[in-house]
Structure 1
Amino acid sequence: MNPHDSLIPLLGRGPDPEQLRHVHVIPARQAVHEPWPEWAHPDVVDAYRSLGIQEPYRHQIEAARLAHSGEHVVIATGTASGKSLAYQLPALDAIHRSELRVLAEPGKIHDDGAVTLYLSPTKALAADQLAAIRALKLPTVRAETYDGDTDPASRRWIRDHANFILANPDMLHFGILPNHAWWASFFRRLRYVIIDEAHSYRGVFGSHVANLMRRLRRICAYYGAGQSFPEPVFIAASATAAEPGESFGRLIGAPVQAVARDSSPHGATTVALWEPALMDHLGENGAPARRTAVAETADLLANLVSARIRTIAFIKSRRGAETISSITRRLLDEVDPSLPQRIAAYRSGYLPEERRELERALRSGELLGVSSTSALELGIDISGLDAVLVAGWPGTRASLFQQIGRAGRAGQDAIAAFVASDDPLDTYLVNHPEAIFDVSVEATVFDPGNPYVLGPHLCAAAAELPLGAGELELFGPTAERLLDQLVEQGYLRRRPAGWFWTHPQSAAGMVNLRADGGGPVSIVDAETGSLLGTMDSPQTHYQAHTGAVYVHQGESYVVEELNEQDHCVIARRSNPDYYTTARDVTQIEVLETVRTAQWGDVSVHFGDVKVTTQVVSFQRKALISNEVLGEEPLQLGARDLFTKAVWFVVDNRSLTGAGLIEAQFPGALHAAEHAAIGLLPLVASSDRWDIGGVSTALHADTGVPTIFVYDGHPGGAGFAERGFDKARTWLAATRDAIKACECESGCPSCVQSPKCGNKNNPLDKDAAVTLLDVLLRDARDAGPADVEGLSGPAAGTGDNGDGDAGAPATITALASQHR
């Protein structure tokens, strides 16, 4: 690609397409090198040089030096900046020197051996790292993966002989820590713990991993007592993030040094902000319908691949990845029959050998186009790509830059396009590029003290080793109170030496790192009886109800029966031209207000709430146009969710004083709530489906018009509290997004919600802008938030409840009495 030519025509719509909202060029960056450190063993340095790395980058050596000196460190630099070398160098140096000592004195017992534990959020990333380490051809390094795909017959050999083990948090939790006695030799020699893609540990998953790290540190201290290094050094690699040292320090529970100045080279990247055009027909409620991001991205992918431009298209959902791939193949078949076979989808759920083959074909260039979930976002080393498409906001700026950074890794100029979906946040961002490029990336949000997360981890920790009173500080200030409740519930027993696990159930089995609880549900093929996959119980009301479309490895199925008693879903293979989306109704009850800020007549609160949600129907929507094809009722039970929320309370007189009449209040509140839910990811590292909302013109607990936005996870995930802290920025962006939308009365790009329990009725776009002006009128003059602890739960239900959360989790007895 010629750097002097515009890259926009490569998207196939001409030099100035109507869908183009903004073009931003990320300039090329020159490398800054640093000599190899003196402490690095010459054999290790020579191994890197044999791969063409003659001189490392400055940030690599800075991070490696900190780790080698015994400091916990996080390296937070851009995609393709060589973070792997920064953590590999000190780890491989320690392993190599240890093995040379053993070889020099055979038969002698060495107390200063060295091994490394590497943790990644995905198996694909671990496999990629394994290949990179083996490519160094250091005979002293025995690197092996240890995960759910590992042959059981190989696991004992790996435990006893491997010195660089690549695992994931799931295997650490279920396979290693509960069996730590089998791993005693490994833990005694553990020098480094590497946590790759640390920014991905956010929300409830991040809260789980934070407690898992505390359990790991506790086991390491037990086996390291009396050793020359009683605790291993933790090294994290992260995408560029706000306050990476503070964030990673919160993840492991210890002080951390951060290296964030990127000194690696990168080609220039042209970033197009792209909004699909409005279509001729009207959508739901008579609002203008916009072409879907899936269909638009498939078109762009087909255009790029037909020009032989190697491209990855990212989308959040598995179904979206499969659909983009299918549509692209169909489009290319009309242009060149040889091209469809060079397109593939990539997502979790594939067999290990399928994933490895796709990665190989993408690296080699056999595949010209891939549509992928975030599974390919994380640091898998794929160079030579020319273009990246991002279908819908990926959740955070960090993820966006991580994804678009996949192109241009070989140093060439590249093009990337963010394709907006029908969502208020996407609409706001394509029309406010400064919100992407002129502000720092988000802080990683998670809450290790969430009682629904911490309680089961305390049980798991006690089962691994009895918990002593001196260890409680590691788990935070709420640990002792939770332990007392666990004793009352019969899970633990208190003795003078500490807390002991006495329950017959597996303690590790009480923790589900990647889900909200309720246990897995089996999805069974109605024709063959074979197991298609599993789904977490809370998701079934939304994704596996009768009539739901379920997609697995490119094949579509329609659910015939949801059997909650037997934890089973029966689905029959089909080929529908639609997808399904569930709709629910929600009521919310304030239990306790923890923080309050006063903005003139408006009060903003944060605290504990009870959300009662019931899925009542589902819609069938066309894959290409999002047109509603039909709606059917469902008979499913209500579920309760105890969580955290932020809510805004405004008096009637403030709204009438701004020119609204009472008949407009419900539509104004409802529209503002929808838009606020869509915009919360702007200030919190959340996804729209992580959060929910309720609005009412007369709430039983406040007595006046109120908007609630809550975390869709038991105990909260930190997102609502982040919304409280950033409320002014959040609401101002919400108002601007509604005003910027080109529709007349409201559409999915501003105030309509894809999962509104009230069928997006009533909605009043103009009144919502007026309402938000009222909320913000005194906010700019208000001082710092006044934090008050208000006691006493209040009961009531929300009228006109509009539930917009993802699947709320069931409440376990373990943590239900945490208050």
Structure 2
Amino acid sequence: MIIFRDAGIAVAVCEARRVSVDAATERGTVLLGRVLAGVASGENPVTHVAELPERAARPVPWPDWVPDGVRAAFTRCGVELPWAHQVEAAEHAAAGRSVVVATGTASGKSLAYQLPVATALTEDQRATALYLSPTKALGADQLRSVRELDLPDLRAASYDGDTPTAERDWVRAHSRWVFTNPDMLHRGILPAHGRWTTFFRRLRYVVVDECHSYRGVFGSHVALLLRRLRRVARRYGADPVFVLASATVADPAASASRLSGVDCAAVVDDGSPRGARTVALWEPPLTELSGENGAPVRRSAGAETARILADLVLEGARSLAFVRSRLGAELTALGARRILDEVDPALSHRVAAYRSGFLPEERRALERDLGSGELLGVASTSALELGVDIVGLDAVVIAGYPGTLASFWQQAGRAGRAGDGSLVVFVARDDPLDTYLVHHPAAVLEKPVEATVTDPANPYVLAPQLACAAAELPLTPDCLPTFGDGARAVLDDLVADGVLRKRPTGWYWTSRDRPHASVDIRGSGGEQIAVVEADSGRMLGTVDQGRACSTVHPGALYLHQGKSYVVDELDLESCLALVHAESPDWTTTPREVVDISILSTAEQSVHPVPGGGEVTVCLGEVAVTSQVVAYLRRLPTGEVLDQIPLDLPEHTLTTRAVWYTASTKALLPTGLTPQTFPGALHAAEHAAIGLLPLFATCDRWDLGGVSTANHPDTGHPTVFVHDAHPGGAGFADRAHAALIPWLTATRRAIQSCECPNGCPSCVQSPKCGNGNEPLDKAGAITVLTTVLSALT
């Protein structure tokens, strides 16, 4: 690993190394030098640089069982010989064994399932197959790939929300390989399985692409959805083989088996070639501005990414910037275009944003421009992380840690897909986790990827899924093991609530209306809110109802395709947000207040503190009451203009939490006082939430927290960290299991931050409902040291 502490040195070294590296390695190094050349004198944004070597391909012969026509089709598409891992996975599938292929980005996982499926559909004119992808973009890309094989027997077709009604009848009657997503499988296919009788009766294969993305509540829903799929298939006499494709994850066989409900073999030895990559960790510099409570402010990751993206486009480098939100994608693309307008206006139109929420025709047009190279720079949410075949990218910029190492490397893998050298730049946001990572590169570059976290036994997920299953086919005792040990108790509750009716032969759905439409498998909070321009009546996009109060509240800034709008009205009952066009020089950030009560304690341990007092650690169920009460208006520099109150309804969430208490007797000898307890606990809570994604496959926004100097349910100073999903998503349980390394990393992150009193890089939170007051950075270190002294 090469470490650069000074940007000028970094440029000089990049220039000097040109003579000693081959062309593949040189490309990424040279691009980094070009980007650093635009850094202001005296700024040192690059904290670490690593050169990842290229890897040679390992081709193998075609399996004997592949028909000549199928082999010729792949050859026409440029595949002379498959790679070793592709054939290994295909052999499992062809032999009737479910399998997961877990190799790197751009490793050709598609061929691993296309080969056995294309063979089966060619040799058996009655066979069918189902393909599932987590995003429409990926599904559309994979459908194009299969159609390019030009094998008429496949009759591949899309069946998703964008499929016109007139085409759906043809797909049901004639398509032999249906490309869809979990949402359509849940709402459109399984509820109407009687219209798919022929398809299900002949179902040979189910392909689950990018299966590592199914985590948390969404992953738990999809795990149960796949069990419903297997149950319907069995009803028609089919027992399909599952072929799952995943990024590199820990224990892929166990993760795939937990998701699909069937035993899966794992293929992990990657035989594809990989070009050399230059990976740079980038920390935006401090500005002269002050943020909340006088804290120092760094240049925003979005602004820094926009500048880097513009520099790369100027170099003619095809580049993709991943950002964390829809708003971030729009702002980054807009910022890059503004920079290019000043330098080379002819290039500004070759930069665009890509995100979910666009209308179907907009998404398709952007995907075409990406594929053709018409666009040089794209700022995207994770909608383009998953598998879309974008070849020839020279650079990827990752603006903020994407929540998991699996996602980080999935995004980084977009660069150098054609085997050429490439550049990956990770730009840290001003928060505890990103700051920790750019100063502890081993946590990114050397740490193994995480196992996915799902909890299909979550009763808040299992209950609606069982209701859907009963509406599809009556539930019988012999099918309950498919849904886990907790299914019987949940069925009893559904019967008691009048949702299902128990009869001697099983459990039956009682209503004429199907439950599927009311079950949100993505855990996003219910129906979609339509964002409509008030003057024209034009629908700009949609927002999940669960996110509406924080993203389209009155006064919120809403961006769509580079244009700014301000929200006039949010009607939650009508699922409508009215906006007008406006281009203010500020953005908005919601403020939320939260209260918490303990409902039950599943695990509890008490630990004495050396010198007196005790620390108690618990895991259990809590009720969280929250309300968006205001929003901040911020300048692009991060400076806060004002805070405007809101009158929005309260929301109560029952979920899982981990919490610890430290008795007053334990804290007083450390120099803390009852007056300083609140700030110390509050700062420790913020930092712990910021670092937890390192230890659980979650995002900071999947979590919430509350701290109090004297919680009524514990009687002690207490810090809670909870899942932000009904019933929990497994994150609090993972935090409890990794408590010591998690809190140790949290303390280290606070200690290593250079600010004097606390800042967004250590203890301030962007979602704090109290305006990040009070916060005591030194006190947080003391609290964590006290807790760790008891635990270790």
The separation in 2 between residues aligned to 1:386 and 1:520, in whole angstroms, is 37
Using the TM superposition, give the Cα deviation of residue 683 of structure 1 relative to its aligned residue in structure 2, in angstroms: 0.7
User: Which of 129, 133, 150 does residue 120 from structure 1 map onto?
Assistant: 133
What is the DSSP-based 3-state SS (H/G/I as helix, E as strand, rest coil) of the residue aligned with 2:87? Answer: helix
The separation in 1 between residues aligned to 2:557 and 2:342, in whole angstroms, is 28
User: Which of 348, 363, 370 does residue 378 from structure 2 map onto?
Assistant: 370
Once structures 1 and 2 are overlaid, which stretch shifts more, 324-333 or 594-603?
A: 594-603
RMSD over equivalenced CA pairs, Å: 1.5
1:218 is matched with which residue? 231
2:727 is matched with which residue? 715
1:22 is matched with which residue? 48
Using the TM superposition, give the Cα deviation of residue 14 of structure 1 relative to its aligned residue in structure 2, in angstroms: 6.4
User: Does the 8 Å CA contact 1:125/1:378 hold for their aligned counterparts?
Assistant: yes
1:606 is matched with which residue? 619
User: Does the 8 Å CA contact 1:12/1:304 hold for their aligned counterparts?
Assistant: no
Q: Do residues 49 (structure 1) and 61 (structure 2) align?
A: no
Q: Do residues 180 (structure 1) and 196 (structure 2) align?
A: no
The separation in 1 between residues aligned to 2:349 and 2:186, in whole angstroms, is 40
User: Does the 8 Å CA contact 1:287/1:747 hold for their aligned counterparts?
Assistant: yes
Q: Do residues 584 (structure 1) and 608 (structure 2) align?
A: no
Pair 1:767–1:491, CA change in 2 (3 A):
same
User: Which of 741, 744, 748 does residue 736 from structure 1 map onto?
Assistant: 748
2:14 is matched with which residue? none
Using the TM superposition, give the Cα deviation of residue 716 of structure 1 relative to its aligned residue in structure 2, in angstroms: 0.6
1:142 is matched with which residue? 155
The separation in 1 between residues aligned to 2:345 and 2:537, in whole angstroms, is 36
1:62 is matched with which residue? 88
Q: Do residues 293 (structure 1) and 316 (structure 2) align?
A: no
The separation in 2 between residues aligned to 1:510 and 1:356, in whole angstroms, is 28
Alignment of structure 1 residues 106-505 onto 2, 5 Å: 113-224=126-237, 230-505=238-513
The separation in 1 between residues aligned to 2:328 and 2:443, in whole angstroms, is 26
The separation in 1 between residues aligned to 2:364 and 2:532, in whole angstroms, is 26
Deviations 1:402-461 (A, max 9, x none): 111111111111111000011110000000011111111111112111111111111110
User: Which of 691, 694, 700 does residue 682 from structure 1 map onto?
Assistant: 694
What is the DSSP-based 3-state SS (H/G/I as helix, E as strand, rest coil) of the residue aligned with 1:334? Answer: helix
What is the DSSP-based 3-state SS (H/G/I as helix, E as strand, rest coil) of the residue aligned with 2:749? Answer: helix
Using the TM superposition, give the Cα deviation of residue 531 of structure 1 relative to its aligned residue in structure 2, in angstroms: 3.0
User: Which of 35, 38, 44 does residue 11 from structure 1 map onto?
Assistant: 35
User: Does the 8 Å CA contact 1:195/1:237 hold for their aligned counterparts?
Assistant: yes
What is the DSSP-based 3-state SS (H/G/I as helix, E as strand, rest coil) of the residue aligned with 1:439? Answer: coil
The separation in 2 between residues aligned to 1:658 and 1:61, in whole angstroms, is 62
1:533 is matched with which residue? 541
Q: Do residues 89 (structure 1) and 89 (structure 2) align?
A: no
What amino acid sits opposite 2:633 in the alignment? R
Using the TM superposition, give the Cα deviation of residue 598 of structure 1 relative to its aligned residue in structure 2, in angstroms: 4.0
Deviation beyond 6 Å, 4+ runs, structure 1: none
Pair 1:348–1:211, CA change in 2 (3 A):
same
The separation in 1 between residues aligned to 2:68 and 2:252, in whole angstroms, is 32
What is the DSSP-based 3-state SS (H/G/I as helix, E as strand, rest coil) of the residue aligned with 1:778? Answer: helix
Using the TM superposition, give the Cα deviation of residue 518 of structure 1 relative to its aligned residue in structure 2, in angstroms: 4.1
Using the TM superposition, give the Cα deviation of residue 558 of structure 1 relative to its aligned residue in structure 2, in angstroms: 1.4
2:19 is matched with which residue? none
User: Does the 8 Å CA contact 1:63/1:86 hold for their aligned counterparts?
Assistant: yes
Using the TM superposition, give the Cα deviation of residue 2 of structure 1 relative to its aligned residue in structure 2, in angstroms: 5.8
The separation in 2 between residues aligned to 1:43 and 1:490, in whole angstroms, is 56
Q: Do residues 620 (structure 1) and 630 (structure 2) align?
A: no
User: Does the 8 Å CA contact 1:12/1:303 hold for their aligned counterparts?
Assistant: no
Using the TM superposition, give the Cα deviation of residue 668 of structure 1 relative to its aligned residue in structure 2, in angstroms: 0.9
The separation in 2 between residues aligned to 1:263 and 1:418, in whole angstroms, is 27
Using the TM superposition, give the Cα deviation of residue 507 of structure 1 relative to its aligned residue in structure 2, in angstroms: 1.4
The separation in 2 between residues aligned to 1:136 and 1:386, in whole angstroms, is 27
What is the DSSP-based 3-state SS (H/G/I as helix, E as strand, rest coil) of the residue aligned with 2:236? Answer: helix
Using the TM superposition, give the Cα deviation of residue 575 of structure 1 relative to its aligned residue in structure 2, in angstroms: 1.1
What is the DSSP-based 3-state SS (H/G/I as helix, E as strand, rest coil) of the residue aligned with 2:420? Answer: coil
1:797 is matched with which residue? none
2:715 is matched with which residue? 703
Q: Do residues 521 (structure 1) and 545 (structure 2) align?
A: no
What is the DSSP-based 3-state SS (H/G/I as helix, E as strand, rest coil) of the residue aligned with 1:729? Answer: helix
The separation in 1 between residues aligned to 2:433 and 2:235, in whole angstroms, is 48
User: Does the 8 Å CA contact 2:747/2:781 hold for their aligned counterparts?
Assistant: yes
The separation in 1 between residues aligned to 2:59 and 2:151, in whole angstroms, is 24
The separation in 2 between residues aligned to 1:146 and 1:177, in whole angstroms, is 13
What is the DSSP-based 3-state SS (H/G/I as helix, E as strand, rest coil) of the residue aligned with 1:662? Answer: coil
What is the DSSP-based 3-state SS (H/G/I as helix, E as strand, rest coil) of the residue aligned with 2:154? Answer: coil
Using the TM superposition, give the Cα deviation of residue 550 of structure 1 relative to its aligned residue in structure 2, in angstroms: 1.8
Using the TM superposition, give the Cα deviation of residue 603 of structure 1 relative to its aligned residue in structure 2, in angstroms: 2.2
Using the TM superposition, give the Cα deviation of residue 72 of structure 1 relative to its aligned residue in structure 2, in angstroms: 1.3
User: Does the 8 Å CA contact 1:79/1:239 hold for their aligned counterparts?
Assistant: yes
The separation in 2 between residues aligned to 1:355 and 1:768, in whole angstroms, is 46
The separation in 2 between residues aligned to 1:573 and 1:27, in whole angstroms, is 49
What amino acid sits opposite 1:556 in the alignment? S
The separation in 1 between residues aligned to 2:629 and 2:139, in whole angstroms, is 42
Using the TM superposition, give the Cα deviation of residue 567 of structure 1 relative to its aligned residue in structure 2, in angstroms: 3.1
Unaligned runs of 5+ in 1: 100-112, 225-229, 781-819
User: Does the 8 Å CA contact 2:351/2:378 hold for their aligned counterparts?
Assistant: yes
Using the TM superposition, give the Cα deviation of residue 17 of structure 1 relative to its aligned residue in structure 2, in angstroms: 5.8
More helix by share: 2
Using the TM superposition, give the Cα deviation of residue 4 of structure 1 relative to its aligned residue in structure 2, in angstroms: 5.0
Using the TM superposition, give the Cα deviation of residue 547 of structure 1 relative to its aligned residue in structure 2, in angstroms: 1.1
2:683 is matched with which residue? 671
What is the DSSP-based 3-state SS (H/G/I as helix, E as strand, rest coil) of the residue aligned with 2:714? Answer: coil
1:725 is matched with which residue? 737
Q: Do residues 506 (structure 1) and 532 (structure 2) align?
A: no
Alignment of structure 1 residues 524-563 onto 2, 5 Å: 524-563=532-571
Once structures 1 and 2 are overlaid, which stretch shifts more, 517-526 or 501-510?
A: 517-526
What is the DSSP-based 3-state SS (H/G/I as helix, E as strand, rest coil) of the residue aligned with 1:300? Answer: helix
What amino acid sits opposite 1:412 in the alignment? D
Deviations 1:631-663 (A, max 9, x none): 011122221110000001111222223332332
The separation in 2 between residues aligned to 1:407 and 1:350, in whole angstroms, is 25
2:63 is matched with which residue? 37
When normalised by structure 2's length, the TM-score is: 0.94
Using the TM superposition, give the Cα deviation of residue 505 of structure 1 relative to its aligned residue in structure 2, in angstroms: 2.9
Using the TM superposition, give the Cα deviation of residue 254 of structure 1 relative to its aligned residue in structure 2, in angstroms: 1.9
What amino acid sits opposite 2:392 in the alignment? G
The separation in 2 between residues aligned to 1:583 and 1:674, in whole angstroms, is 15
2:10 is matched with which residue? none
Deviations 1:177-229 (A, max 9, x none): 001011010001100000001011111111111111110010011111xxxxx
What is the DSSP-based 3-state SS (H/G/I as helix, E as strand, rest coil) of the residue aligned with 2:690? Answer: helix
The separation in 2 between residues aligned to 1:4 and 1:582, in whole angstroms, is 44
Using the TM superposition, give the Cα deviation of residue 480 of structure 1 relative to its aligned residue in structure 2, in angstroms: 1.1
Deviations 1:46-75 (A, max 9, x none): 211222212111111111111111111111
The separation in 2 between residues aligned to 1:81 and 1:125, in whole angstroms, is 15
What is the DSSP-based 3-state SS (H/G/I as helix, E as strand, rest coil) of the residue aligned with 2:124? Answer: helix
Unaligned runs of 5+ in 2: 1-22, 609-613
Using the TM superposition, give the Cα deviation of residue 503 of structure 1 relative to its aligned residue in structure 2, in angstroms: 1.5
User: Does the 8 Å CA contact 1:273/1:417 hold for their aligned counterparts?
Assistant: yes
